Chain A
Amino acid sequence: MSTTSLPVKRRTPVRPARILLHVFLAGTALAWLAPLLWAVFSALRPYSETSAKGYVSWPDRLSLDNFTNAFEQSDMLHYFGNTLVIAVPAVLLTLFLSSMVAFYVSRFDFRLNLALLLVFTAGNLLPQQVIITPLYRLYLLTDLPGITASGKLYDSALGLVLIHVAFQSGFCAFVLSNYMRSLPHELTEAALVDGASAWRLYWQITLPLCKPAMAALATLLSIWIYNDFFWALVLISTGENMPITSALNNLSGQYFTDPNLVAAGALLTAIPTLAVYFLLQRQFVSGLTLGSSKG
């Protein structure tokens, strides 16, 4: 008991226990991946084969035909394009606007700061359905002739961008204000004494220091906005205008006649988010835990 290394030694686990743990974890991980692997397996098989032999059968032929068919038949590229038009401005605007609010709230001591941040944070935690009915009406009533193709906010990419920005900026303002509060005040103070403007304090001093948090949030936001199903389902009426995630719901009824093709289509829509996740895993996870108040 006298040596300090003893407790560490004692915590070193016995080998068989470790092996058992690995067996358990590997088994569970495989079970976790099973639904996705099953989808991949189904998507790789032609409909004719599965309808003749059943789904649980040894494959005669595996091919990527379903993927190419789903991609071409349903003009998926077009819907990926729709998503891009919505997600890119939405992510950038959300970060820009919420970082300004966060800067205001965290670097100065105005009277309503806390209340403001509370309003933003609470707004983001509301279920979307709480606001959808009036929002839908508002979008129908807002005439924007010449600005959007539909002439209204309804059924337009602009409408979706606005609601994504409004909704997600609550979360980002909360996270970024926490982050900015942790930056030393002396930094901006010195600049202020030297006569820097408020905008300069924000744009040239504070924002560059927030890069890690911004990167994490950007990753998270792109995945969330890409995955959005609900807003697009309600606020877009023309199938053609839908982003990919909600378009798939339409497509599976309209174009896809067999489950294997639906599987391929569904997997194709998941590829971009999986790619972002694998490339930016670190940012994604840190973003999620940075402000885990998110639902």
Chain B
Amino acid sequence: MTTETTTTTTGTAGTAGTAGTAGTTQTPEAGAAPPPGTTLHRKRSARGHQRLLTRRDRFVLAVMAGVPTILHLALVWVTALASVLLAFTTWDGIGFDSITWVGLDNFRQLFADNPQFWPAVQHNLIWFVVLILVPTPFGLFLAVQLDKRIRFSRVYQTAFFLPVVISMACIGFVWQLIYNPDTGLINSITGANRPGHYIDWIGNPELNLWAVLIAASWRHTGYMMILYLAGLKSVDPSLREASALDGANEWQTFRNVIFPTLRPTNTVVLVVTIIEALRAFDLVFVFNKGAQGTELLSILVTNNIIGESSRIGYGSAIAVVLLVISLAVIIPYLIVTFRKERRA
């Protein structure tokens, strides 16, 4: 009984980190939830540690933690904050005295006048909806099939996972060979590369987002499959046995027994998918530089830097929109994750 509760806690209460460790690496301590009482004891020994530290040790520790923290804060958080401040200014980038405070002007322009902004928001949203509705369930389905201890499981896994290892930029090039209107695979097979029958998968604003999304889903499926496989490995086998004893069929077992225990994995999958949808950039940039039909928030920000017009305040305002959406996802996720960790 004790072992059973321990394993279930690992599956549900642990973060994806601990659950994954239990499934994949050979560190029993890493995966197993601590027996009751350890937390207290651990706290005590952590404090005990501190009492034994010399002044020199404290200094060394401060440097050890301080150097990486300063680097991370300076390049990630200070710049994120600078984005927020710059969003309320106009600046041509030459000298600091040209920075002028303009209040909400950039945002006003962005929301009201920029013809690319709302389409970009919409495309980011579509990106997320497609990823969560198509490749995610399919990845879960594949994971469930591959979890059945079948032969060649490794071979299948590798095939599905291969796209995740390859860079998004490279994937962009590979899929252009399929979508290219003149020389691509699809049009060559369907005869749409002849005049009059032409289908422009990359240039047509009605089609190109969906074409890119197929390539993105191709990659996302393998990623989700691996996350779910790790989640499934931490499902207690006795649960399956019990449900088989009760006469449940495969679907009933999955729906009522396995899927509920995958909750921590589902949370991670949801967060990963939202973040991926917000980060989407490389694939689209290689495809058509985010021209007509494939605008994304990330592309709009980047165009302000490497494009011909460098409107720093304006670009920062778009970045702030991206930041606000991201934080709305990241903060609740981290609160939940870290609260569990504290308890564990």
Contacts and interface: CB of A to CB of B under 8 A. Distances in A.
A199 B60 contact: yes
B83 A131 contact: yes
Nearest to B278: A127
B129 interface: no
| B contact patch SS | helix
Nearest to A199: B60
Given A125-B326, A130-B83, A227-B167, A36 B49 contact: no
B86 interface: yes
A38 interface: yes
A184 B99 CA distance: 54
Contacts of A50: 183
A198 interface: yes
A68 interface: no
A107 interface: yes
Interface of A: 1, 7-8, 10-11, 13, 18, 21-22, 24-26, 28-30, 32-33, 35-36, 38-39, 42, 50, 54-56, 97-98, 100-101, 103-105, 107-110, 114, 116-123, 125-138, 140, 162-163, 165-167, 169-170, 173-175, 178-179, 182-186, 188-189, 192-193, 197-199, 202, 212-213, 216, 223, 226-230, 233-234, 245-246, 248-249, 252, 259, 262-263, 265-267, 269-270, 273-274, 276-277, 281-282, 284-286, 288-295
Interface of B: 15-21, 23-27, 29-30, 41-43, 45-50, 52-54, 56-58, 60-61, 64-65, 67-69, 71-80, 82-83, 86, 93, 142, 145-146, 148, 150-152, 155-156, 158-163, 165-170, 173-178, 180, 183-185, 188-189, 215, 218, 221-222, 226-227, 230, 240-241, 244-245, 265, 268, 271-272, 275-276, 278-279, 281-282, 285-286, 297-298, 301-302, 304-306, 312, 315-316, 319-320, 322-323, 326-327, 330-331, 333-334, 337-338, 341-342
Contacts, number: 370
A233 B16 contact: no
Nearest to A194: B52
User: Among the interface residues A29, A170, A173, which one has the most CB atoms of the partner chain B within 10 A?
Assistant: A29
Given A122-B331, A123-B77, A129 B302 contact: yes
B64 A104 contact: yes
Nearest to B47: A109
A52 B93 CA distance: 51
19 contacts: A32-B159, A35-B218, A38-B185, A114-B342, A128-B279, A131-B76, A132-B302, A133-B83, A136-B305, A138-B79, A182-B30, A229-B281, A249-B169, A252-B173, A262-B173, A285-B161, A289-B23, A293-B15, A294-B272
